[in-house]
Amino acid sequence: MAVDTPRRTPTGKLPEPDLGTGLIPKERYLTPEFMALEWDRLWTRVWNLACPLSDIPDVGDYFAFELGPESIIVVRSEPDRVRAFYNTCQHRGRRLREAGTGHAPELQCPYHLWTYGLDGRVTSAPDADDFPQGDPTEGVCLADLPCEAWNGWVFVNMDPDAAPLHDFLGPLPEHLDPYDFGAQYHLVEDISMLWECNWKVGVDAFNEVYHVQGIHPELLSFTDDVDCPIDILGNHSRFLFRVGYPSPRWTDELARREGYRDRNQVTAMMRVIMEGAGLDADQFDGRLDEVRPALFEARREHGRRNGLAYGALTDEQLTDDFHYFIFPNITLNISADHFWFFRHRPHPTDPERMFWEFQTYVRLPPGVDPPPRPDRIDCVFGDGTERKLHLALQQDAAAAPPVQAGMRSRGYEGLYLAHQERRIRHFHRVLDQYLFGG
Ligand code: FES
Ligand SMILES: [Fe+2]
């Protein structure tokens, strides 16, 4: 009898394109001209992730968000239909809704009370017969834009002639469908933070692990930042970050400096990981090669006991950080039980500022009610909110503004990238294809 094997995320190494060796010129991080070019040729032509479908579960739910100078509202108009509109009243142009989630059986503009149905049509307007050019209820509509869903997320595209989302995603569904984000994971944390840097400084920072030894040295005893396979996936990319094994950079000397006997002693962080999986950490002292196989088995058992749908995931996915970048501005750190979502959003007017959005989603067993959606925290890096973040993210956030500041120097021309930073090079190549063609 044939048995259905769930499709699994490919983990084999893929061939890579030649990405060249040139400097990435710094002007793209600094100038209003480059920012304008990005607006005209990237943001208004690319598929942009709007929100998780879980933000708009019921008819009448909406999610409004800002992207550069634009604001878009995504609406659940029918049980199985989601539409996207520019968030602008067609009367005198007032923005209809502030950014965020909400519910309304129809969208009424607060200014002169024009009311729109969930299909975008004007359904009522005071003194509707006072418009000599035509009653607005007889055909005026919100301006809509292409809108599609995949794997629990809604995407929109400001290009009315956009190719289908599936074409844009390329190999990503094959890689990420096994996680089944929409059904298995639930939003529990939502922060938007103003950073004093260009949005691409944010993207770049999350596309390499070369900086781990510099700003996250505490990760070295339990993650491998050296053997970290990279794959280019069409417009997108990923790396696989092994957890539960020390970096080659975690040397005996470094371990001794941190108070350990040698690099093979179980560190405090390694102990947290093992004990979290129900393993006796002391059993593994000096035998760190055996930690990952034990973690695979322990986590598989944890899934069985707790009814977690791990069936489509490989052993490595149960333990490691599967790190995906969805062009142009989404970063995902995915593990079996949770994932981190980062969006690097351009500022509406200033090329040297960005909004860094951070969300955490956790996996729950089927049938368990998810927690209520958390309110979004809007903040500015430096106001203290960053202390709520995981230490590594505090370090990433602190590292970004000095990069922007340094780039302004007359003594700097552009990014001189290592081979292990080639996801950054690839990102800029795809960006260039949008901006300059070819
Ligand atoms: S601007 Fe919206 S009703 Fe007038
Ligand atoms: Fe980092």
Model confidence pLDDT, tens digit, residues 6-26? 589 999 888 999 999 999 999
Helices then strands (H, E): number in the chain? 12, 22
Mean pLDDT of 311-315: 92
Cα(103) to centroid of ligand 1, in Å?
19
As a whole number of angstroms, the distance between CA 162 and CA 110 comes to 32
The angle that helices 291-306 and 268-276 make with each other, rounded to 10 degrees, is 30
* DSSP classification of residue 27: G
How does pLDDT run across 411-432, given as a tens digit for each residue? Answer: 999 999 999 999 999 999 999 9
Ligand 1, closest atom to CA 90?
Answer: 2
Confidence check: pLDDT of 48 > 80: yes
- Asked whether 92 lines ligand 1 (CB < 6 A), one says yes
CA atoms within 13 A on the CB side of 281: 16
- Please choose from 73, 86, 89 the residue to mutate so as to test ligand 1's pocket, defined by most ligand atoms within 8 A of CB: 89
Q: Parallel, antiparallel, or unpaired for β 377-380 and 185-195?
A: parallel
Q: How far is the C-alpha of 334 from the C-alpha of 75, rounded, in Å?
A: 27
The amino acid occupying position 326 is I
Per-residue model confidence (pLDDT) at position 12: 87
Neighbouring CB atoms inside 10 A of 306's CB total 13
Beta-carbon contacts of 237 under 8 Å, excluding residues fewer than 6 positions away, are 207, 230, 231, 324, 325, 423, 426, 427
Q: Does residue 373 register a pLDDT over 50? A: yes
Confidence at residue 5, expressed as pLDDT on a 0 to 100 scale: 54
Fill in the amino acid letter for 9: T
The CA distance from 201 to 394, in Å, is: 15
Q: What is the pLDDT of residue 3?
A: 46
- Indicate whether residue 94 lines ligand 1 (CB < 6 A): yes
CA–CA separation, 62 and 64 (whole Å): 7
The pLDDT of residue 69: 95
DSSP assignment of 94-132 equals: -B-S-SEEEE-SSEE-TTT--EE-TTSBEEE-TTGGG-T
* Ligand nearest to the Cα of 390, by number: 2
Residue whose Cα lies nearest atom 1 of ligand 1: it is 92
396 in Cβ contact with 206 (< 8 Å): yes
In residues, how long is the chain?
438
116 lines ligand 1 (CB under 6 A): no
- Dihedral of the alpha carbons of 344, 347, 348, 351, in degrees to the nearest 10: -120
Alpha carbon 419 to its chain's center: 23
Stretch 252-271: mean pLDDT: 95
Instruction: Return the residue matching tokens 């200014």.
Output: 111
- In single-letter form, the type of residue at position 270 comes to M
Q: What does the pLDDT look like over 101-157, one tens digit per residue?
A: 999 999 999 999 999 999 999 999 999 999 999 999 999 999 999 999 999 999 999
Mutate to test the pocket of ligand 1, among 86, 90, 92 (most ligand atoms within 8 A of CB): 92
Instruction: Give me ligand 2 centre to Cα 325, in Å.
Output: 14
Q: How many CB atoms lie within 10 A of CB 297?
A: 14
Q: Which of 111, 130, 131, 142 to mutate to test the pocket of ligand 1 (most atoms within 8 A of CB)?
A: 111
- Element holding 405 (H helix, E strand): helix 391-407
Q: Average pLDDT over the chain, rounded to whole?
A: 95
Whether 89 is in the pocket of ligand 1, judged by its Cβ within 6 Å, is yes
Determine contact, residues 218/269, Cβ cutoff 8 Å: yes
Residue pLDDT, tens place only, 56-82: 999 999 999 999 999 999 999 999 999
Among 43, 46, 81, which Cα is nearest to 60's? 81
- Cα distance between residue 209 and residue 214, in whole Å: 10
Helices (H), 229-381: 252-257, 268-276, 291-306, 315-319
Residue whose CA is at the smallest distance from ligand 1 atom 3: 112
pLDDT confidence band for 2 (50 / 70 / 90): very low
Any idea which ligand is nearest the CA of 217? 2
185 or 366, which is more confident: 185
Is 60 exceeded by the pLDDT of residue 399?
Answer: yes
Cis peptide before 366 (omega within 30 of 0): no
Which of 86, 91, 127, 137 is the best mutation target for the ligand 1 pocket, counting ligand atoms within 8 Å of the beta carbon and taking the most?
A: 91
- Asked whether residue 438 carries a pLDDT value surpassing 70, the answer given is no
Angle formed at CA 203 by CA 250 and CA 153, multiple of 5 degrees: 110
